[in-house]
A = this chain, B = another copy of it.
Amino acid sequence: MENYKIIEGGVCAAKGFKASGMYCGIKENPTKKNDIAMIAADVMCSAAGVYTQNKVKGAPVIVTKNNLIKSGGKAQAVIVNSKNANTCNADGIEKAEEMCRLTADALGIKPEEVIVASTGVIGQILPIEPIKAAVPQLAKSLSYEGNNDAAVAIMTTDTVKKEYAVEFEIGGKLCKMGGMAKGSGMIHPNMATTLNFITTDCAVSPELLQKALSDIVKITYNCLSVDGDQSTNDTCMLMSSGLAENEEICTEGADFETFKAALYQVMASLTRMLAKDGEGATKLLTCVCSCAPDLDTAIIVAKSVIRSPLFKCAMFGSDANWGRVLCAIGYAEAEFDIDKVDVDLASKSGKIAVCRSGAGVDFSEEEAKVILSEDEIEILISLNQGEAQATAWGCDLTYNYVKINGDYRS
């Protein structure tokens, strides 16, 4: 995509969006890291969502879905906390609804116009008192520069905040789009994001907003795997304020493609950040499967490789154990001819062919070691039986993943 420009501002980059974040004390925390955030729009927005497919759904997921049904796909605010997922609790729905009511009261909107989300430990009662105390303060401190405070508040085991924003033109109008995401572990399709909020001022009809989000989730967040565990609280929301004043995009023409390309840019960039900051990760792994018979096959193969614990360990050890790549391609649940498959490994230090037509080729182990010692590795797979291509993102499996997740109730 050539028509976009990377800009600052995260969820506040687009016109009409304020945000805030603070520490309210959902969990004892001596560093007083932010644990609650609010996003509010100056006007009523169209909102589209994609949610976890886990049968265990966090109470906030259920409440948000219901709210969007009640409001007819409209929303004006987001309230989100970390440190507690509000999932598998008998009073979960009640608490999530209360978070919406508190936010609505503070902002003078209706509860069903609020999107609620939570992330953190599953199965612990959410303390509502600190949230009750915090919401009015969050509302008061809302700011067009509040994106950083909000992005920091949704972090759990994340080591860095994830924000990204772009600007692009639609019908001569400058449009902006930005997002923030959290997630580090329990990340696997579908959906693999845990929490993600994207805002735009580009006017798009509710139907096309949902279509764009669903299409792009499929080739970005749904192609991300840190550990193969699918969270109960995954939520990806896209809100449009329409304040860029472009003519609303109501049909699937060139403007819609431009919008989708911007959305891909934002979501693919956040996906990459999530993979790179996977729990314990020392390396970003990007697997590109090309020349596949169709898109679904390309996605399935790329994801299978990215998910393989054995391959992830080999990457941690900078070991060109390509047999594990082929093994993971082989158990991918798709139909194709394994005897046509080529595999290369690459990084900024070079590229090396390790497999041709399903069999090993001679390569320099020394050269491979140099390539794999970089912190961003590409696994390039060509199925040589079609024209479809997909990318999947992941990371290596390290001692620290075990440490983080073996520690008490991480």
Contact = CB atoms under 8 A, between A and B. Distances in A.
B56 A229 contact: no
B360 A124 contact: yes
Interface stretch (A1-9, A99-107, A321-329): A321-329
A319 B408 contact: yes
A317 B403 CA distance: 8
A56 B325 CA distance: 11
Interface residues of A, number: 61
B230 A327 contact: yes
Given A56-B327, A85-B323, A232-B327, A406 B313 contact: yes
Given A88-B326, A322-B123, A355-B88, A307 B402 contact: no
- Copies of this subunit: 2
Given A88-B355, A89-B359, A317-B406, A185 B310 contact: yes
A358 B56 contact: yes
Contacts of A332: 55
Contact of A360 (B89, B227, B313, B319): B89
Nearest to A53: B331
Interface string A109-125: 00000000000011110
Interface of A: 53-57, 85, 87-90, 121-124, 185-186, 227-232, 307-311, 313-314, 316-317, 319, 321-324, 326-332, 336, 338, 355, 358-360, 397-399, 401-409
13 contacts: A55-B332, A56-B327, A56-B329, A56-B338, A87-B323, A122-B324, A123-B326, A123-B359, A228-B307, A232-B326, A314-B406, A316-B406, A317-B406
